[in-house]
Structures are given as structure tokens and as C-alpha cells.
Amino acid sequence: MKFRRIGDEGAASASGKRPPIRRHDHRQAVYFRNRRLLARLKAGFALAEERLSGFDRVEFIQRDGAFYRFFRVSGLTDSAGAASGILESTGVGLAPGVTLGPAGEGYLRLCCARPPELLDEAFDRLAPILGG
């Protein structure tokens, strides 16, 4: 009985069972999955930066290394209430900045680890609220 490497077409033994995952195969799979995730995060982060820059009431710090975009909305004094209201009116989930402490009040957080088409749709829905 001969096993083929995982990822080969029809990788199964004569008995129909899959071969055990070798340590090397697992590391390689994790490596490629992480590369795809990192590429999606970079694309989402760039898209969020581009779209947030177009809103009149929004300011943010340009940072790397996170998968959330943390942004301030002028005139916002209750980030928890705003996040709840935005979710109800637009269906877009944002995290209130106040959950990170009092200094986060007035800020909202958006996860950039979503596919670009979903982020674009979210920003289209947020435009009337964020002043774009």
C-alpha cells in the first residue's frame, strides 16, 4: 500500500483512508494559510485607509501591524451607543473604542480581516453616518 502526499489529487490509501499528516506538510499548510491571511489583511487595511480618508468626520492614525482600523469620529461622545445604533441601522458591526478604556471614547474599531467586497459594502453603508 502506497500513500501519496496530502494535497495530491485523490490522496488516499487503498482502504480509502487519508494518510497521516506529516509534520512538514502541516507546517507548509500553516505557512501558506498565514500568507493568504496576511495578504487579505494588508488589502483590507489599505482599503479601509482609502475609504476612511474620504469621510469628512473621520480621523485616524496610519499604523501597521493590526487587523483593526481604530478611528475617531468628530462629535461622537458615546462610542458604545453609536456602535449599537450603527449596527441596528446599517448592519455593520463596529467595536466601540471605550471598551479599550476611557481614552478610547469617541473612537470606533473596524475589523479589516474581511474580504474587500464586504468592506466596500460596509463603507457604502457607513457613508451617510461618517460624512462621506
Average pLDDT across each block of 10 residues of the chain; the chain has 132 residues. List them in order: 50 58 66 82 90 91 76 93 96 94 93 91 94 72
Which is nearest to 99 in space by CA: 81, 113, 124? 81
Chain centroid to CA 17: 36
Give the per-residue pLDDT at 118: 94
Give the per-residue pLDDT at 111: 92
Give the per-residue pLDDT at 72: 93
Residue type, 88: E
In angstroms, rounded to a whole number, what is the distance separating the alpha carbons of residues 37 and 61?
Answer: 23
Ordered structural domains, the chain, with CATH: 23-130 (3.90.1150.10)
Asked if 82 and 90 count as a contact pair (C-beta separation under 8 A), the reply is no
Which is nearest to 92 in space by CA: 117, 114, 125? 125
- What are the backbone dihedrals phi and psi of residue 108, each rounded to the nearest 5 degrees, phi first? -130, 155
Give the per-residue pLDDT at 42: 87
Give the per-residue pLDDT at 36: 85
Give the per-residue pLDDT at 25: 67
The SS3 of residue 96 is strand
Residue listed under C-alpha cell 474580504: 115
Asked if 131 and 55 count as a contact pair (C-beta separation under 8 A), the reply is yes
